Amino acid sequence: MKNSLVLFCSLLAVTLFACTKPGLEEKDTDLYQDVPSSAVPAELDKGLWFYGTLSAISYYDRDGHRLGNDYEAGREYQFSNVNGQGRLKFWQYLGTRNASSCVAEYFTYKEGAVKFEGDLLTFYPVKGTFKTIKKDCATGNGTTVRKAERDDLKPDTFRWELKTIDGEKYLYTFSKEDVHHQNVVFVYSFGQ
């Protein structure tokens, strides 16, 4: 009887584990079910596209230790294809410091489907998170994390163009209204 009970519990545990695992994958797949997408062009697929900047102003504490730049920012895209459908992961970092030693850092992460139509690219985020870290700030300190909500996951459309300069590839982005690609918004460099 005892062996039968152990066998029954083992089979029940394996069955429950087997039944729950595909459910998690289906839940993630369901996020993309009704989202428009197309294949990512081969020249954008794989690798990371990065844009970053630092201010020229730096802050130091009273002991002369460097606290960091007045501001720093970075953005990154990672394109991929999943079963012929375009996917995009987006990261953004914004960091600020001031003379009062206040450090505020803002992290954004979104992922979703992507659709290419000529030089138009539309990103349809399906999930994401926002993280804020504050240290030595009068407006509060600590870390807050929040899941992206419906209003945070609106589609974003922009124009794109690849350029090669001195043998290096760059991804230029423009507002969707800039049909002649005259006013660049961000220039991303290609990284592995």
Confidence of residue 65 (pLDDT cuts 50, 70, 90): low
- The reply to whether 19 falls in a domain is no
pLDDT at 57 over 80: no
The structural domain count of the chain equals: 1
Q: What is the average per-residue pLDDT within 126-130?
A: 97
Report d(CA 182, CA 173) in Å as an integer: 10
Tokens in use for 151?
């209003």
Residue 116 lies in a domain: yes
Residue 168 included in any domain: yes
Range of the domain at 127: 32-191
- pTM, whole model, 2 decimals? 0.76
Residue 169: partners with Cβ closer than 8 Å, 6 or more residues away: 43, 162, 163, 189, 190
What's the pLDDT score for residue 62? 63
Residue 8 domain-assigned (yes or no): no
Q: Which residue has the tokens 């895209």?
A: 77
Q: Is residue 151 part of a domain?
A: yes
Q: Which of 31, 105, 25 is nearest to 68 (CA)?
A: 105
Residue 167, in any domain of the structure? yes
CA 183 from chain centre, in angstroms, equals 24
5 in a structural domain: no
**What is the Cα–Cα distance from 57 to 51, expressed in whole angstroms?**
19
Poorest-confidence range of 4-13, 30-39, 126-135? 4-13
Structural domain contains residue 148 = yes
The three-class DSSP label of residue 43 is coil
